[in-house]
Chain A
C-alpha cells in the first residue's frame, strides 16, 4: 500500500516516536476533512470515503471497503474525524515503515480495530486480513505464538496483543540496527577499494 506522492496526506509529517501528527498538521487535516464533508455532518459516508482513499492510495476496491468496515465501528455507514485522523496516521506510519512502532504506541486502538467481531480476542485470521494495512508478518506471528502465547485457541486477548507489539517493535528495531551496521560495513569496504 502506498500513499500517492504529492497528495495532501503525503505532505503531512508523522512524528517518529509517538506516531501522531502535530497540532498544526491536525488543523490542516481538519480543514481538508471539512472540504470533503459536503453534507455538513462532520462525517464522511462510504462513497466519499471510497473516493478519498482511492485517490490518496493505491488500495483496491475490496481493500477500501474492508478499511471502511473496520473504521465504521458503530455500523452507521459513516466515519467521523477521529477515525479519519487515526486512518491518516496508519497510512503515514505504513508509508514511513513505522507499523510496529505505531502498533506499540497505540495498541489499544489497533486491537479495537482488528477485533472486528467484538470478541475481545484476535487471531491469525484478523492479522492476515489486515496485513496490507499493518504489515504484520507471518514468521513474526509464528515466533510469537511459539514463545509467548499462553491460551490454547491461539487467539490473543488485549494483554497478549500488547506483549506482541512490544516483541514486534523490538524485533523491527533489531533488524534496523543490523541493516545500518551492514550499510556501514559496505560503505567501509567500498571506501577501502
Chain B
C-alpha cells in the first residue's frame, strides 16, 4: 500500500493537468484504463490534491489515514479562509459569526458544545422519565376500557348485592373517579 504514493508522485506530471478539472482524470488518459486501475487512479488523484495543498508530512502515509487527511483538508480550508480575511475587521457585505479571533472562536465552540451537551443530557433525562410512564394514548385506551367494564360490573353488583353494600360503594367510587379523569382529559383536549 505504501507504494501508491510513489506511483502518485511519479504520475504527478500527467495528473497535474487533470487536477484543473477538480482532480478528475481526463478522458484521453483514463478512458482506456481498466476499472481496477481507474479506481487506483482516482485515489492517486486525491493524493495529488493533497500534495498540492502542501500538507506537512503526508508522504508515505497508508490508505487508512486518508480519511483523517480529508478532514485535515477541510480544517485547512477554514484556516486558509481565515487567513485570507483582512485583519482589520469584517469584509463589507460579508458577515461571518464568531470569526473575529481564534480564542473567541474556540470559546464559542466550547460554549456551544457545552450547551448542546446539556440539552442532550436534559433530553435524555426527559426520555428516561417518559419511559417509566405509559404513553398517554395507551393510558387513555386502558381507562376507557376499564370504565366500560367497571360500569357493567357495577350494574351486576347493584342487582346481586344491593346498592348499600360496601363493595358496591367501593366500585361506585372507582367508577366516578375514572369518569372524572375522562372529563378532565376531554376538557384539556
A-side residues, CB < 8 A to B, are 7-8, 11, 27-28, 31-32, 35-36, 38-39, 47-48, 50-52, 55
In the bound complex, how far is the Cα of B152 from the Cα of A89, in angstroms? 24
Is the beta-carbon distance between A38 and B134 smaller than 8 angstroms?
A: no
Given that A7-B145, A28-B142 are known contacts, is A39 also in contact with B170, CB under 8 Å in the complex? yes
B interface residues, how many (CB within 8 angstroms): 21
Is the beta-carbon distance between A31 and B170 smaller than 8 angstroms?
A: no
Minimum Cβ distance to chain A for residue B149 (Å):
5
Question: With a CB–CB cut-off of 8 A, which chain A residues contact B145?
Answer: 7-8, 32, 55
Given contact pairs A35-B146, A48-B153, A55-B148, a sample of 11 additional A-B residue pairs in the complex whose CB atoms are under 8 Å apart: A7-B145, A27-B134, A28-B142, A31-B139, A35-B178, A36-B150, A39-B170, A48-B149, A50-B156, A51-B152, A55-B152
Partner of A11, one of B141, B156, B170: B141
Can you offer 29 A-B residue contacts whose CB atoms are under 8 A?
A7-B145, A8-B138, A8-B141, A8-B142, A8-B145, A11-B141, A27-B134, A28-B134, A28-B138, A31-B134, A31-B139, A31-B142, A32-B142, A32-B145, A32-B146, A35-B142, A35-B146, A36-B149, A36-B150, A38-B174, A39-B167, A39-B171, A47-B156, A47-B157, A50-B156, A51-B150, A52-B149, A55-B148, A55-B152
In the bound complex, how far is the Cα of B153 from the Cα of A50, in angstroms? 9
In the bound complex, how far is the Cα of B88 from the Cα of A35, in angstroms? 72
Q: 1/0 per position for B165-189, CB-CB distance to A under 8 A?
A: 0010011001000100000000000
Which chain A residue lies CB-closest to B141?
A8
Is the beta-carbon distance between A55 and B167 smaller than 8 angstroms?
A: no
Indicate if B69 sits at the interface (CB-CB under 8 A): no
Is the beta-carbon distance between B146 and A47 smaller than 8 angstroms?
A: no
B-side residues, CB < 8 A to A, are 134, 138-139, 141-143, 145-146, 148-150, 152-153, 156-157, 160, 167, 170-171, 174, 178
Partner of A51, one of B134, B141, B149, B174: B149
Is the contact region of chain A dominated by helix, strand, or loop, or is it mixed? helix
Which chain A residue lies CB-closest to B135?
A28
In the bound complex, how far is the Cα of B170 from the Cα of A148, in angstroms? 54
Question: With a CB–CB cut-off of 8 A, which chain B residues contact A39?
Answer: 167, 170-171
Is the beta-carbon distance between A47 and B153 smaller than 8 angstroms?
A: yes
In the bound complex, how far is the Cα of B82 from the Cα of A138, in angstroms? 85
Is the beta-carbon distance between B150 and A38 smaller than 8 angstroms?
A: yes
Question: With a CB–CB cut-off of 8 A, which chain A residues contact B156?
Answer: 47, 50-51
Is the beta-carbon distance between B170 and A38 smaller than 8 angstroms?
A: yes
